[in-house]
Structure 1
Amino acid sequence: MANLEDWIIEQGLRGADVGSLLSGFTERLVAEGLPLVRVYLALPTVNPTIRVYTHVWTRSAGLMVEGVSHERNARAFDRSPFNHMMQTEQTRCYWLIDDPAAPQFDVFDDVRRQGGTDYLARLFSFENESAPDLRGIGLSFSSDRPDGFRPEEVERIDSLLPLLGLAAYRMTLFDLTVAMLDTYVGLSAGRRVLSGEIRRGFGTTITAALLFADLRGFTSLADTAGMDLIARLDQHLEAMADPVAEQGGEVLKFMGDGILAAFPITDERSREQACAAAIRAARTALERNVAVNALHAGEPPLSLDVALHCGDVFYGNIGAAGRLDFTVIGPAVNEVSRMEALCNSLDCSVIVSESVASASPVALRSLGRHRLRGIAAERELFTLDPVSVWTA
C-alpha cells in the first residue's frame, strides 16, 4: 500500500480533524507532482446553527474552514456544481472551466482567481439511515495546467477518495457526537460522558454556586398565546443562559421557562469567585431579560426571578436504565428552587442565600428570616441593594 493510503488510514484512526486531513492529503498529492491550486471539501452536519462546513485549500492561502449557517446564502447551493450533479443524478463530473460547452457556475470565478483551469467534482453518499442529514461529502479539485488534469492524475485522485471519504465520515461522526452532547447535555457534562462516566448512579459530589431562574407570568401567557411564543421563549432563555456561560458557569437544565445553572468551586476558582460569578450572571440576565421584553412592547412583559445558593450537590448520571440525565440533585438544589418561589411574595427579582451573601462582592440587603417549603429551619435571605437596579 502506498504511503499516502497509509497516512489517510492513520489519520482516520487517530481522529484528526477534517481540515488537517484535507490539507495533509492535498500537500502530499502536490508532493507527488499533481498541479493542484484549489481543493474543496463540503460536509453537511447536524447542528442547531451550522448547516455545512466548507474546507477550502488553495496554493496561495492554505486551508480555510468556515461554518455556513442555516440562514446564510441559502441560494448559493442552487447555483453550485454539486446541486447540478444531484439534479442530474451524477456523482462524477469534470469540466475545463473556459470550455464554451461547459456549464458556468459561480465557483468557477474563484477557481480562475487562483489560476485554475479545470474543475473535477465528486460526490460520495454516506447513506446512514440513523443520521439522514449527514447525506455525504462533496469534493472538488482544480489544477493550473492549461489542458487540465491528465487521465492518470484523475485516476490517482479517484483511487484515494473512498479512503478520504471514510476517514472524513469517521471524524464527522465523532464531531457530531461531541457537538450534540455539548448542545443538549452541556460542555462539562458532555465531556464527562465521553470520558466514560455513563453508568447510572455514577457521579461525584461537588460544591457549587447555584443559579435558579424562572420567568414570572409565562404559564398564563402560554395558555392564550400561539406558537409564536416559542420564539419569544427562546430569546428569554438565551438572556438567562448566555450570561452563565460568559461567567464560566454551565446551564445544567432547561426547565420549561427556567434554567438551573452551576458555578463549580474548584482549585482554580474559589468560593468567593464562584459566588461573585453567579451574582454577575444573575444581574446580566435580568438586564437582558428587560431588553427582550422591550422587543415585544405590545405584549405582556415577562419578569425574571433569580435565586442564588451555594452548597454540595451530587453531579452525575440519574434516571432509568435506558434514559439517563447528567445533572445535579441534592438539598442545595431543592433549597435554591424553594428560594426562587418566594420572589413574588417578597416582591424582589433576586433572592440570595446566606451562603452566597457571605461571599458577595457587592452590597446586599437582608430580607429577614423565612421558612422554605420542605425545610425545617428558617433561612435568612438577602437581595441586591439597591433593588431598583434589578426590578426594571
Structure 2
Amino acid sequence: MTNLEDWIIDQGLHGSDMSSLLSGFAERLDAEGIPLVRAYIALPTVNPTIRVYTHVWTRSAGTVVEGVSHERNSEAFEVSPFAYMMRTEQENCHWHVHGPDGDRFSIFEDIRRLGGTDYLARLISFGNTSAPDLRGFGASFSSSRPEGLRPEEVARIDRLLPLLGLAAYRMTLFDLTVAMLDTYVGLSAGRRVLRGEIRRGSGTTLTAALLFADLRGFTALADRSGMDLIGRLDQHLEAMAKPVEEQCGEVLKFMGDGVLAAFPISEHRSFEEACAAAIRAAQMALERNEAVNRQYETPLSLDIALHCGDVFYGNIGAAGRLDFTVIGPAVNEASRMEALCSALDCSVILSDRVASVSPVPVRSLGSHRLRGIAAERELFTFTAG
C-alpha cells in the first residue's frame, strides 16, 4: 500500500474528525501531483436538528464544515449534481465545467471561480439497514488542469474512496453516538455512558441545586382536539430548558409538560453560585414562557420549585432498558413543592436552603407539610412574585 492508503487506515482507526480527514486526503492527493482546487464530502446524519454535514476543502481556506438544518436548502439540493445522480441512479459522474455542461448546475460557477475545470462526483453507499438514513456520502473533486482530471487520476481517487468511506463511516457513527446521547440523555449523562458507566445501579451521589418546572393547565388543554399541542409544547419546553443551559445547568429529564434540571455544586461552583444560577434560570424561564403565551389565545402558566440537596445520579431501570437520571429525597421534595404553586398562588417556590442565599428578595409563604414528609417546611417565593 502507498503512504496515502496507510494514512487513511490510520485515520480510520485513530482519527478524530472529518475536517482533518478531508484536509489530509486532499493535500496528499495534491502532493502526489493531482492538482485539486476543491474537495467535498456530504455526510447525512440523524441529528434532530441537522440533516447533513457538508465538508468543503479548498486551497485557500482549508476545510470548512457546515451543518445544514432539516428546514434549509431542500430546494437547492434538488437541483444539485447529487440529487440528479440519485434520481438517475448513477453513482459515478464526471462533468467539465466549461463548454456544453457549464450551466448544468449552479455549483459549476463556484468551481470556475476557484480556477477549477471539472467536477468528479461519486456516491458511496454504506448499506446499513439498521440506520437507513445513513445511506452513505457524496464526494466531489475538482482540478485546475485545463483538460480536467486524467483517467489514471480518476482511477486513483476511485480506488481510495472505499478506504475513505470506511474512515468517514467510523467517525460518523462515533459523532452520531455522542450527539444522540447529548440530545436524549444530556451532556453530562452522555459522557458518563461513553466512559462505561452503564451497569444498572451504578452512579454517584452529588449535591446540586434542583429546578423542577411544570406547565399549569396543559392537561386540560390537551383534552381539546384539533390543536397543535406538540408544536406548542416544544416552545414551552424550550423556554424552560434554554435558560438552564445558559446558566450552566443540565436538563436531566423532560417529564410530559415539565422539566427536571440540576446545577451541580462542586469545587468549581459553590453552593451559593449554584443556587443563584438556578434562580436566574427560573426567572428567565418565566419570562420566556410568557413570550410563548403571547402567541396563543389560551395561556399556560409555569410553576417552578427550587430546592437543593444530595441526589443519586446514575442508572436505574430494567436489565434491557436503563435510564440515566437522578433520584432521592431532594427530588421528591422539589416535585411536591411545585405541586403547591397553584394552592399558594405563586409561580415560584423556594426551599429555605435556596432562599437563604437568594440574590433577589424573597418572602416567606409560611410552613407547609409536603406529602410523604413528616416535618413541615418553610417555603418562600420572590417578593415580586
**Counterpart-to-counterpart distance in 2, 1:61 and 1:312:** 50
Pair 1:171-2:186 in alignment: no
**Counterpart-to-counterpart distance in 1, 2:15 and 2:180:** 17
Instruction: Report if aligned partners of 1:243, 1:284 keep a CA contact under 8 Å in 2.
Output: yes
Cα shift at 1:26: 0.6
Amino acid at match of 2:343: S
Name the structure 2 match of 1:340: 338
What is the 5 A alignment of 1:117-156? 117-156=117-156
Cα shift at 1:33: 1.1
Instruction: Report if aligned partners of 1:60, 1:114 keep a CA contact under 8 Å in 2.
Output: no
Report SS of the residue matched to 1:224: coil
Report SS of the residue matched to 1:361: coil
Inter-CA distance 186–101: structure 2 relative to 1 (3 Å threshold): closer
Pair 1:271-2:271 in alignment: yes
**Counterpart-to-counterpart distance in 2, 1:256 and 1:311:** 24
What is the 5 A alignment of 1:52-201? 52-100=52-100, 104-201=104-201
Q: Give the root-mean-square deviation of aligned CA atoms.
A: 1.0
Name the structure 2 match of 1:377: 375
Name the structure 2 match of 1:362: 360
Cα shift at 1:12: 1.0
Report SS of the residue matched to 2:373: coil
Cα shift at 1:15: 3.6
**Counterpart-to-counterpart distance in 2, 1:159 and 1:172:** 21
**Counterpart-to-counterpart distance in 1, 2:357 and 2:199:** 35
Name the structure 2 match of 1:390: none
Cα shift at 1:330: 0.3
Amino acid at match of 1:236: H
Superimposed CA distance per residue, residues 84-105 of structure 1 (whole angstroms, 9 cap, x where no aligned partner): 1111111111111113157711
Amino acid at match of 1:114: L
Instruction: Report if aligned partners of 2:23, 2:62 keep a CA contact under 8 Å in 1.
Output: yes
Report SS of the residue matched to 2:84: helix
Inter-CA distance 381–101: structure 2 relative to 1 (3 Å threshold): closer
Cα shift at 1:226: 2.9
Task: Point out the more displaced range, 146-155 or 186-195.
Answer: 146-155
Match of 1:330 among 328, 331, 337: 328
Instruction: Report if aligned partners of 2:102, 2:108 keep a CA contact under 8 Å in 1.
Output: no
Pair 1:37-2:37 in alignment: yes
Calculate percent identity across the aligned residue pairs.
78
Instruction: Report if aligned partners of 2:117, 2:148 keep a CA contact under 8 Å in 1.
Output: yes
**Counterpart-to-counterpart distance in 1, 2:245 and 2:89:** 45
**Counterpart-to-counterpart distance in 1, 2:136 and 2:103:** 23
Instruction: Report if aligned partners of 2:38, 2:58 keep a CA contact under 8 Å in 1.
Output: yes
Cα shift at 1:225: 3.7
Report SS of the residue matched to 1:362: coil
Name the structure 2 match of 1:304: 302
**Counterpart-to-counterpart distance in 1, 2:55 and 2:101:** 28
**Counterpart-to-counterpart distance in 1, 2:189 and 2:361:** 33
**Counterpart-to-counterpart distance in 1, 2:320 and 2:349:** 37
Pair 1:12-2:12 in alignment: yes
**Counterpart-to-counterpart distance in 1, 2:133 and 2:15:** 21
Inter-CA distance 190–101: structure 2 relative to 1 (3 Å threshold): closer
Pair 1:209-2:247 in alignment: no
Instruction: Report if aligned partners of 2:367, 2:378 keep a CA contact under 8 Å in 1.
Output: yes
**Counterpart-to-counterpart distance in 2, 1:138 and 1:315:** 42
Name the structure 2 match of 1:28: 28
Pair 1:351-2:349 in alignment: yes
Amino acid at match of 1:332: A
**Counterpart-to-counterpart distance in 2, 1:227 and 1:252:** 28
**Counterpart-to-counterpart distance in 2, 1:111 and 1:88:** 23
Structure 2 portions without partners, runs of 5+: none
Structure 1 portions without partners, runs of 5+: 388-392
Superimposed CA distance per residue, residues 168-217 of structure 1 (whole angstroms, 9 cap, x where no aligned partner): 01100010100000000000000000000000000000000000000000
Cα shift at 1:75: 0.8
Report SS of the residue matched to 1:295: coil
Report SS of the residue matched to 1:100: helix
Amino acid at match of 2:384: P
Cα shift at 1:32: 1.1
Report SS of the residue matched to 1:365: strand
TM-score (normalised: structure 2): 0.99
Report SS of the residue matched to 1:205: strand
**Counterpart-to-counterpart distance in 2, 1:363 and 1:292:** 26
Cα shift at 1:60: 2.1
**Counterpart-to-counterpart distance in 1, 2:340 and 2:61:** 59
Q: What number of residue pairs does the alignment pair up?
A: 385
**Counterpart-to-counterpart distance in 2, 1:376 and 1:342:** 16
**Counterpart-to-counterpart distance in 2, 1:156 and 1:126:** 20
Name the structure 1 match of 2:218: 218
**Counterpart-to-counterpart distance in 2, 1:227 and 1:2:** 62
